Amino acid sequence: MVGNGATGSGTESETGAGTGSETESARSAGTPGSAGTPESAGPAESAGSPESAESTESAGPLAGSLVGVIGAGTMGAGIAQLAVQAGHAVAVYDALDGAAARAVEGIGKRLDSLAAKGKLGTDEAQAAKDRLTAVDSLSALKDAVLVVEAVIEDLGVKQRLFAELEDIVDRDCALATNTSSLSISAIAGALRDPGRLVGMHFFNPAPLMPLVEIVEGLATDPACRDLVRGHAEAWGKTTVTCRSTPGFIVNRVARPYYAEALRAYEEQTADFATIDAVLRESGGFKMGPFELMDLIGLDVNLAVSTSVWEATGYDPRYTPAWTQKEHVAAKRLGRKTGRGFYEYGENAAKPVPSYEPERQQTEPGPVGAGAFSLYRSFGRTATSYGDGRILIDLALDPDNPGTAAIAPAADTPDHVLDEAIAYLQSTGKKVVIVEDVPGLIVTRTVARLINEAVDALYRGDADEDDIDTAMKLGVNYPRGPLEWGADLGFAWACEVLDNLEAVYRDGRYRASPLLRKLAHADRIMDLPLMQQRALSFERASVDEVTKAASAAEKAAAAHRTQPAARPDGPFYERPPVQPYEPSRDQPRDQRHDDPQPHDHPRKDQP
């Protein structure tokens, strides 16, 4: 009998309201007694408890047949609830005495609660409970058509478990692992028939989260993959398919969201609360990275980052941050310990972002000296331009006034900064001043998320639609990273990364080869537009800028039902074009949207 396999395996996710969990390996490895311990700090904090999942009963593949679930932790119990509500008979096994019975009892209470709330018929709830049993040996799973494993993130434990299971179940039984970080190929390597194993990566809480990653190992049989995917979809889930690579789709592509926030803090760009506010209110993310890491558990989040870093050969793009390591070493793990990046408890003060106090405009009209000095960030510092400009961070939600993060140059006059703040506040925005660091906060984060998604596409980890779907449903991003790339411009993302890499020179911001190809295609396809814009706005007066912006505003309003145009130039959000559009006075070789020497010459060039 396989021992030490009791603990439920967690997965990382930021859900609809920013709830989430990551792999529990750091906390539960080798701890069979933690089978009933939740895989996250409050996984149902905002999304609702697992009991709120409505009935998913349907005539799915082999409905009514036996599904085995191994591991009675939070994740295993959630998977069992899904399967039994879909009409299957479900047997739950755990190596820890009494853990399976406790899980079955908990599922029964959730089913009763659903019935009491009218979300499930009383007879249906009772029938589901009658189909659910706790078993005390793996041999009780011999008639299963599918067995889903949700034990601790330990390769040896999983290999021994599946090797033993292979001798018990029928040859046609599909074997699925809920691992969030281990290689499917490595787990399957212990089987005589490795083709029958597939990754079935749920997100926590399983009854609520809509996404399941179907992960193929080197030997996975397509028929097995399709069978497991069919089960997940019959249980009401949206599936994406990917290769077995470190972090799969979600846990790998999402790493920059945490990493860039941590680097920004370490560079004294802003404090935790301000960085969170900028990414929420300017970036449109449901939760800021620091509050999200506190919810997930800093130790759990760090374990995932470390796992991906090690599995990719210590790639500098995934290097864990010392700030997070220090907090984990000090046992400041987040909400579950009462303190992480923030303090929790009855007497804990609510964190407040460093918003600027109200300023009054002293210059008439919508475009004053301050507004005219605002430039969009392309990954350089404001000071590096030498013209006293103010950089404004990327805003991804043009319909939400939100927060504007700005960084003045070292030579920005105080009255110009005050005018810029007053103008932004007059548009309904809250304003924060951050340190003049390359890429500010949202700009560098989104550029890296785009690069990670493009690189996953480049490696063939998954297709374009599945990558964007995974990030929207698995971590609830407002848009998919590839959608951002198409709208913001792959050329913009590539330039931001190149400028960041020129500063740091540590490999963290290296652009994917595919991103460079897409960026070059952007420049070629948009060349006429770029030429026209450069000629229209270069060295333009304030009045000319205002007039052009007004015309663009009317054009944008007439096409507001169309997809957003790709941002071009120093606009910090589009549509509509903002009236404080600055002049195009950068040297030509510093503008991402002007032709490079190897491109076609502009019409005004000889």
In angstroms, rounded to a whole number, what is the distance separating the alpha carbons of residues 419 and 397?
23
DSSP annotation of 488 reads H
Cβ-Cβ contacts under 8 Å for 294 (sequence gap 6 or more):
41, 334, 335, 340, 341, 342, 344
Query: 213 catalytic, yes or no?
Result: yes
Residue 143, token pair as written in the block: 């008639």
Set 4, 251, 307, 373: catalytic member: 251
Q: At what angle are helices 289-296 and 255-266 packed, to 10 degrees? A: 120
Kindly report the backbone phi and psi dihedral angles of residue 420, in degrees, each rounded to the nearest multiple of 5, phi listed first.
Answer: -65, -45
Q: Where are the alpha helices (DSSP H) in 221-267?
A: 222-234, 250-253, 255-266
Pairing of strands 390-392, 374-376: parallel
140 near 93, Cβ under 8 Å?
A: yes
Cβ count within 10 A of residue 539:
8
Query: Is the four-CA dihedral 27, 259, 187, 470 of positive or negative sign?
Result: positive
List of E strands, 360-480: 374-376, 390-392, 403-408, 430-433
Alpha carbons 84 and 75: distance in angstroms, whole number: 14
* Among 213, 281, 419, 581, the one annotated catalytic: 213
Tokens, residue 104: 């079955």
Q: Determine which one of 34, 180, 377, 476 is catalytic.
A: 180
Annotated active-site residue in 88, 201, 231, 592: 201
The answer to whether 472 touches 479, Cβ cutoff 8 Å, is: yes
Contact 154, 25 (CB under 8 A): yes
Those residues whose C-beta lies under 8 Å from the C-beta of residue 28, and which sit 6 or more positions away, are 7, 8, 34, 37, 73, 152
Contact 32, 120 (CB under 8 A): no
Q: Active-site residue 201, yes or no?
A: yes
Q: Residue 447: helix, strand or coil by DSSP?
A: helix
Show the DSSP H helices in 348-429 as ranges: 369-372, 414-426
Run of H or E residues at 454:
helix 442-459
Hey, what are 56's tokens? 């998913």
Q: What is the largest CA-CA distance in the chain?
A: 83
Q: Which of 246, 149, 176 lies closest to 456 in space, CA to CA?
A: 246
Rounded Cα distance between 258 and 452, Å, is 13
Per DSSP, the three-state class of 174 is: strand
Phi then psi for 174, rounded to 5 degrees? -85, 140
CA atoms within 13 A on the CB side of 517: 7
DSSP conformation class of 325: H
Backbone φ, ψ for residue 336 (5° rounding): -65, -20
Point out the residues that are catalytic.
180, 201, 213, 251
